[in-house]
Amino acid sequence: MFKHLWLVAVIACGGAARVDPVAPSPEPQGGAPHKDSNMEHDSAHHGDAMAHGGGMPHRFEKADEWAKDFDNPARDAWQRPDLVLAALELRPKMIIADIGAGTGYFSVRLARAVPDGQIIATDIEPDMIRYMTERAAREHLPNLRAVQTPPDDPQLAPGSLDRILVVDVWHHLGDRPAYARALARALRPGGKLAIVDFTLTSSHGPPPQHRLSPDQILAELRSAGLTASVSSTTLPEQYIVIGTR
């Protein structure tokens, strides 16, 4: 469920010098993982998993159809986007990447929360990128850019981001430790990576065999060189793990 390239949520600190957060690369073939909001396996994700490493394969094409679920107002009650954004500790002018952004549920909220910053929304699905690009124009969010990325590489420039947000996507990844290392490299010193995923007992989310415990994610972020802890923010169906460079 990671969709990606432009929406990697990065929050740039104060007056720090700007760096293009999207690393130059050949034309992507596919995209990055996605999130679900999901009717197909009753989750709130969508995305494509990498071919190796045990991720949960799932495609999220036809963005206009998925938008009915991903952006359903009923999602707010259990996703609690207000609490997720508060946990990010956003500040003006941050550069933020939203990985596996899908139809932009979190990306547009980030763009409004940091109007003088930059929001990069990534996804592996071309139609999600088309949808988010049109949505940013329709909702007058010039600081939001959608970028297609491959499933195994977020294609973010080293040391370019203040925040990275990954919601309902981590369990779709195949080689999670490698992806964590790539995201860690993209963070500036003091930058934070927030991973939001479903609890083992959530009434939403992927099948039980594809769910991850917070301890699994903590270990993966620490193996990438990040200081990691479970956020004190309480969500109805999920947890937040924060990794800091």
CATH, residue 77: 3.40.50.150
Residue 39 placed within a domain: no
Sheet holding 187-198, edge to edge: 144-148, 118-123, 95-99, 161-167, 187-198, 238-244, 227-230
Q: Which domain holds residue 137?
A: 63-244
**Worst-scoring range by mean pLDDT, 49-53, 65-69, 121-125, 141-145?**
49-53
Residue 201 placed within a domain: yes
Beta strands in 38-178 (DSSP E): 95-99, 118-123, 144-148, 161-167
CA 117 centroid distance within chain: 17
pTM: 0.79
The confidence band for 223, taking pLDDT boundaries of 50, 70 and 90, is very high
Identify the pLDDT of residue 82: 98
Return the H-helix or E-strand segment holding 168.
none
Residue 46 placed within a domain: no
pLDDT in tens, 78-102: 999 999 999 999 999 999 999 999 9
Q: What is the arithmetic mean of pLDDT over 198-205?
A: 94
Q: Which residues contact 113 (CB under 8 A, 6 or more apart)?
A: 85, 90
> In 10 A of CB 187, how many CB atoms?
26
Q: What is the arithmetic mean of pLDDT over 209-213?
A: 95
Q: Which residues contact 24 (CB under 8 A, 6 or more apart)?
A: none
**Worst-scoring range by mean pLDDT, 36-45, 153-162, 216-225?**
36-45
Contact 137, 17 (CB under 8 A): no
Number of domains observed in the structure of the chain: 1
Residue 3 placed within a domain: no
Measuring CA to CA, which residue among 181, 169, 75 is closest to residue 124? 169
Identify the pLDDT of residue 31: 34
Residue 223, judged by CB atoms within 10 A of its CB (0-12, 13-18, 19+), counts as middle
pLDDT at residue 39 is higher than 50: no
Residue 185 placed within a domain: yes
Residue 36 placed within a domain: no
pLDDT in tens, 121-131: 999 999 999 99
